[in-house]
Amino acid sequence: MKAPRFWSNRKNWIIPAALSPLAMIYRLSIFVNRLNSKNITCSIPIVCAGNIVTGGAGKTPTAIAIAKLLADMGQTPHFLSRGYRGKISGPTLVDREIHDSSMVGDEALLLAKIAPTWISCDREKGASAATNAGASIIIMDDGHQNHDIIKDLSIIVIDGGFGFGNSRLIPSGPLRESLKSGIIRADAVVIIGQDKYATKEKIKNYSLPIIDADIFPVAKDTNIETKSVIAFAGIGRPEKFFDTLDFIGCEIIKKYTFSDHYNYKPKEIDRLASEAEKYSATLVTTEKDWIRIEKNKQNLVMPIPIELKWKDANKIKDLLNELFINT
């Protein structure tokens, strides 16, 4: 499903108010989940790149950027993911030659390009598998709301262009838990892009380290910035992708949005490719979407990879170094 527009509309209170009884039920489910959690400690450090809102805040690019820093520090990071929308429950080591997004989810395939990646619905078993396989540190892509395993460094990732939306709990808003409960368990906050909704001001009383970052398209020898494009995306906030295309100078002829983690049908890709041909345009999408396209159709679409860049890498390096001093 696509995120409803009223989640980001801070002035629309009628629909959120009508849904507030369901939000109260959701709040109760969170409480019950915490009561039944295992709270297991792992023998190696665990870093979590999570968020408080549902949808695409930039967790996966953040997790990848952290893994690269750890590798430069001489560590052996492994990723741990539940494999959202994948069929495999794990623990399973992702093999990009064998697994596809229907089996392990799209994020896991992106992570596996960088470091060994484990899929496991049971985070304790996944962490144990990674440890036994030689990981010196585990990076969880998402999992801030998972209380079965204790994190040594829990980082909240926030999209500066969205903030906390209307600051209401699901389904009245995009919050997975209350802002207070999510922030007090965090050790640091990463804000990606311009802080358009005064997020820093809202969390200033929690005295957390705030690390600024931006996401940029990865340079490729495609001259895409000189081309007309038809763009489509099925991510948490598709407009971020369209803004990226504007940023690099593309002329967007048409744009199409799909629900988050959408599984594209071959006929849909054929239709979009035919439209691109009609306008003499290049059909483009995110790398995350491209992974969910059947392999025999991927040649019709150009993926636009992205990467996260820290504005001050020393801030995150200091937090990571402390892990190996204190554990």
292-327, pLDDT tens digit by residue? 999 999 999 999 999 999 999 999 999 999 988 755
C-alpha to C-alpha distances, 38 to 33, 123, 131, 149, 156, nearest whole angstrom = 10, 10, 18, 7, 22
Contact between 264 and 292 under an 8 Å Cβ cutoff? The reply is: yes
Q: Which of these, 154, 168, 162, lies nearest to 191 by C-alpha position? A: 162
CB atoms inside a 10 Å sphere around CB 1 = 6
pLDDT at 271: 96
Q: CA 304, CA 49: separation in Å to the nearest integer?
A: 23
- The HSE-up count of residue 290 (CA atoms within 13 Å, CB side) is 17
pLDDT at 236: 81
The string of DSSP letters for 43-82 reads: SS-EEEEE-SBSS-SSHHHHHHHHHHHHHHTT--EEEEE-
pLDDT at 221: 56
Task: Please say if the pLDDT value at position 104 is more than 70.
Answer: yes
Place of tokens 């209170």: 13
| DSSP category for residue 148 | S
Q: What angle do CA 237, 107, 97 make, to 5 degrees?
A: 140
Both tokens of 150, joined, read: 């204790």
Q: CA 61, CA 319: separation in Å to the nearest integer?
A: 18
Among 18-22, 135-139, 185-189, 224-228, the minimum mean pLDDT is found in: 224-228
Q: CA 304, CA 125: separation in Å to the nearest integer?
A: 34
Contact between 52 and 144 under an 8 Å Cβ cutoff? The reply is: yes
Contact between 86 and 103 under an 8 Å Cβ cutoff? The reply is: yes
Q: b/e map of 130-143 (b: 16 or more CB within 10 Å)?
A: bbeeebbbbbbbbb
Phi, psi of 86 (to 5 degrees): -95, 160
Percentage of the chain surpassing pLDDT 70? 98
pLDDT at 223: 74
Contact between 47 and 323 under an 8 Å Cβ cutoff? The reply is: yes
Q: What confidence tier does 40 reach under pLDDT thresholds 50, 70, 90?
A: confident
Task: Please say if the pLDDT value at position 147 is more than 90.
Answer: no
Three-state SS at 135:
coil
Strands 153-159 and 137-141: what pairing?
Answer: unpaired
Domains annotated on the chain, with CATH: 34-215+308-326 (3.40.50.300), 219-304 (3.40.50)
Write the single-letter amino acid at 311.
K
Contact between 50 and 154 under an 8 Å Cβ cutoff? The reply is: yes
Beta strands in 51-169 (DSSP E): 77-81, 92-93, 117-119, 137-141, 153-159
Place of tokens 């969910």: 292
pTM as predicted: 0.90
pLDDT at 13: 81
Both tokens of 142, joined, read: 């998402």
Strands 210-217 and 228-233: what pairing?
Answer: unpaired
